[in-house]
Structure 1
Amino acid sequence: MARAQETFGKKEREKKRLKKREDKKKRKEARKSGEKDDTFVYVDEFGQLTDTPPDPARKLKVAAADIVVGVPKKEDYEEEDPIRKGKVNFYDDKKGFGFIVDMENNEKYFCHVSGLIDDIQENDKVTFELEKGQKGLNAVRVKQQ
């Protein structure tokens, strides 16, 4: 009968497994004996890693109600005039859409025929309001000046 062949890979895996077992046993004994473990690290108030625990007297108490998560409400920052002025850059009657350039910040906004109050053509000066659409801000309630 042929004996089982023990290849180099099998020997190496067995060595690694035995070494892990020995390391685990040493760590367990060190914990039982009360030795200091250097694997535990603290972060101080400056973001630096240290091996000393933080001073509990310097700990700050923060109420959960004081934590603000997210974007501030519209009333918290200054109100903008909702009615904007612009110029029609492109408009196609057949397709029913176009683009309006805002006079203040030169941004282009999409405009659909459903958002029109008056009929518009290219180069018309218009007033409009902005509303969030699927792909960004859209011009709605568009009127000629």
Structure 2
Amino acid sequence: MRLGTVKQFDEGSSYGFIEDDQNHKSYFVFYKAIKEEGYKTLRVGDRVKYQLAQGKNGLQCVNVYLA
């Protein structure tokens, strides 16, 4: 799994961006990709581990867990 930091997450729109630790690129994340129990949200600065998968508009985060 990859490691990164949440750079933006809008609870109202249910999406945001995670910056990858290795290449410093930002990838789209949708709330459905968050695999934590309960209310699914991320906060700016949260450390996460995740995988990348091809989405409609390019690579996006899937299987997102708090690190």
Would the TM-score normalized by the shorter structure come out above 0.5?
Answer: yes
Q: Name the aligned partner's letter for residue 104 of structure 1.
A: Q
Q: Distance in 2 between matches of 1:122 and 1:95?
A: 15
- Match for residue 52 of structure 2 among 130, 134, 138: 130
Partner of 1:111: 29
Bigger fraction of residues in strand: 2
SS in 1 for 2:6: strand
* 1:120 partnered with 2:42: yes
Which runs of 5 or more residues in structure 2 are unaligned?
none
Q: Following TM superposition, where does structure 1 have runs of at least 4 consecutive aligned residues deviating by more than 4 angstroms?
A: none
* 1:88 partnered with 2:25: no
Q: Name the aligned partner's letter for residue 9 of structure 2.
A: Y
Describe how 1:5-44 pairs up with structure 2 within 5 A.
Answer: none
- Match for residue 16 of structure 2 among 73, 98, 112: 98
Q: Distance in 2 between matches of 1:94 and 1:135?
A: 21
**RCO greater where, 1 or 2, for CA within 8 Å and sep 6 or more?**
2
Q: Name the aligned partner's letter for residue 137 of structure 1.
A: L
* 1:142 partnered with 2:54: no
Deviations along 1:11-51, one digit per CA (max 9) or x if unpaired, are xxxxxxxxxxxxxxxxxxxxxxxxxxxxxxxxxxxxxxxxx
**Bigger Rg, structure 1 or 2:** 1
Deviations along 1:89-122, one digit per CA (max 9) or x if unpaired, are 0001111000000000001100001111123211
Q: Distance in 2 between matches of 1:89 and 1:129?
A: 17
Percent identity of paired positions between Structure 1 and Structure 2: 30
State the Cα RMSD in Å: 0.8
